[in-house]
Amino acid sequence: MRTRTKVLTWVGIGVPVLVGAAGAAYATYYHDRALPGSSVVGIDVAGLTRDEVANALRAKADGVVIDIKLPDGHKQASLADLGTAVDVDATLARVFSANEDWSSYAKALRESRPVAVVTTADRTKLSAFLTDLGESYARRPVDATVSLAKNKESFTVSPGVAGRSLEATGLADIAAQAAASLTSSAATTSLVDREPEVTTAEAKALADKANAVVQTAAEMTAGERTFAPSEAEKASWVTLPADVAAAPEVDAAKVTAWVAAQVKSIDTAPTSGMRYLTSTGTLLRVITPASDGIQVTNSAAVAKSLTAALDGGKDTTATVKTKVLPATWTERTLAAGAENLAYPAVAGEKWVDVNLSAHTMTPYVGGKAAASTVKMVHGAKDTPSDVGTFHIYMKNPLMTMTGQNADGTDYETPDVPWSSFYNGGEALHGAYWRKTWGYAASHGCINLPIPTAKWIYDWAPIGTPVVVHN
């Protein structure tokens, strides 16, 4: 019995010693290696170092391919192409997290330990891949549009065109599953029709609304006159909305401008007339007729009414209101006795009457002669005196006159006295070379006896009217 006891005692003491030594060696070996039973999506990584596990993961991930079926073939894409990746560092952290817990070493000898792969996804890169992939298949939809017709009198529609795009439904999930399982997979694509944002029907509905505005009768009347914009003008007033579901609008500023243009043809300024009155205030005669003017008073209201009618699609006729602008008169009260004379002189006004038919010159104050009528010599047939009402503008007591004869030759007359110029080179002046009077013979001036010319020179100030008539 003693002998057995000793043996058992030794065995009882020796087994822990042996187990402890083996456990230490076990722990030391697996301190930086994946514990027994460790696997990553079916890949046995037990006993591998971090670098070895990392290399195994990368190699496996690099071999994953997504076979994408296209309308006309296939394309193989890697996980990297699709913006999907295996996060090796995060997966390693999961694999080696058990190495920090001593109890895991014992569990590893009797339990398997599968570890899931940690993945990441870059949606921007996936989107760029899909864009490039579908570039040769895609067709952008074209929106229907509404525009002014070539005749500018109506609105027309350019039809919309449907587009298409390449759809790879679930490709992001497929890539994620392939990365998580580290196994290749497949995806299917399809061509999908894309309607334009603005359809032909929507554009036509908007064009119909715009054309309804153009067809609306919007007129304005002023008395018996009617003003109506043309269809092209109304079309130019229509503003199309950015949203085809909204209604077109009428540009009030353009309507106002059109109304203003019509008003210009209605508005009439009053004219000022001239009339002569006798010395007693009785109307003698009208020289220039006067007329009342017309002014539109409600152009803003008319424009507002027309705008509202067009916006609402209701025919309307706006009535223009006007007021009379009274005419004005310039009145000239003639001096007594001047009613039938050549010049409508007022009382006290000096003026000179030159009668070519009678070959006479008479100075007047108002309607009475200030001196006796005298015979004179006026312009010859080839160099006649101008007819009209003029005013003395310059005087010269003694001068040499030069000019041209009717035949083009020059003349020069020295010492011409008492010249009163009233019309360019024409003057009332003395003529010492004349012996008789009462005929036509001068170069256009009114030749007078020297005493008469001196009297006129002294009597008539600058500005005195000179009326030359037949």
pLDDT at 100 over 90: no
The set of residues, in sequence order, having a beta carbon less than 8 Å from that of 273 and lying 6+ positions away, is: 286, 287, 288, 289, 290, 291, 327, 328, 329, 330
pLDDT at 20 over 70: no
Handedness of CA 266, 272, 278, 281 (dihedral sign): positive
CA dist 230 and 214 (Å) reads 9
Q: Which candidate, 126, 116, 164, 120, places its Cα nearest to that of 142?
A: 164
* Tokens describing residue 406: 């009717």
pLDDT at 428 over 60: yes
Strand-pair partners of 22 = none
216-248: pLDDT as tens digits = 999 999 999 999 999 999 999 999 999 999 999
pLDDT score, position 332: 95
* Tokens describing residue 24: 């230490």
168-178: pLDDT as tens digits = 889 999 999 99
b/e map 162-199, b = 16+ CB within 10 Å: eeebbebeebbebbbebbebbeebebebeeeeeebebb
Question: What letter represents residue 305's amino acid?
Answer: S
CB 150 within 8 A of CB 117: no
CA dist 242 and 240 (Å) reads 7
CB 310 within 8 A of CB 213: yes
pLDDT at 312 over 60: yes
pLDDT score, position 14: 38
* Tokens describing residue 241: 């909305």
CB 146 within 8 A of CB 156: yes
Query: Kind and range of the H or E element at 285?
Result: strand 283-288
Using N-to-C axis directions, what is the helix angle for 88-96 and 50-62, rounded to 10°?
140
Bridge-based pairing state of the strands 113-115 and 38-40: parallel
Alpha helices per DSSP H over 150-199: 171-181
pLDDT score, position 3: 36
Confidence of residue 101 (pLDDT cuts 50, 70, 90): confident
pLDDT at 8 over 60: no
> What 3-state class would DSSP assign to 26?
helix
b/e map 422-454, b = 16+ CB within 10 Å: bbeebbbbbbeebeebeeeebbbbbbbbeebbe
> Long-range contacts for 238-245 (Cβ within 8 Å, ≥24 apart)?
238/155, 238/210, 238/213, 238/214, 240/146, 240/155, 240/206, 240/210, 241/206, 244/146, 244/198, 244/202, 244/203, 244/205, 244/206, 245/202
Rounded (5°) CA angle 336-356-465: 45
The mean per-residue pLDDT over the stretch 26-44 comes to 90
The mean per-residue pLDDT over the stretch 10-33 comes to 65
Query: Kind and range of the H or E element at 352?
Result: strand 350-355
Alpha helices per DSSP H over 238-333: 252-266, 299-312
pLDDT score, position 126: 94
| Entry field: residues in the chain | 470
The mean per-residue pLDDT over the stretch 332-347 comes to 95
pLDDT at 457 over 70: yes
> Long-range contacts for 228-231 (Cβ within 8 Å, ≥24 apart)?
229/258, 230/153, 231/153, 231/154
Kindly list the catalytic residues: 429, 445
pLDDT at 435 over 80: yes
The span from the first CA to the last CA of the chain, in angstroms, equals 185
Higher pLDDT, 351 or 19: 351
pLDDT at 352 over 80: yes
129-184: pLDDT as tens digits = 999 998 888 899 999 999 999 999 999 999 999 999 999 889 999 999 999 999 99
CA dist 343 and 389 (Å) reads 8
CA dist 324 and 327 (Å) reads 9
pLDDT at 9 over 70: no
Q: Which candidate, 75, 74, 40, places its Cα nearest to that of 59?
A: 40
Question: What letter represents residue 414's amino acid?
Answer: P
Provide φ and ψ at 104, rounded to 5°: -65, -30
pLDDT at 7 over 60: no
CA dist 424 and 415 (Å) reads 19
pLDDT score, position 18: 39
pLDDT at 351 over 80: yes
The mean per-residue pLDDT over the stretch 280-288 comes to 94
The set of residues, in sequence order, having a beta carbon less than 8 Å from that of 166 and lying 6+ positions away, is: 70, 71, 130, 133, 134, 137, 138, 189, 190, 191, 192
Average pLDDT over all residues of the chain = 92
pLDDT at 15 over 90: no
pLDDT at 201 over 70: yes
CA dist 442 and 425 (Å) reads 12
CA dist 199 and 36 (Å) reads 66
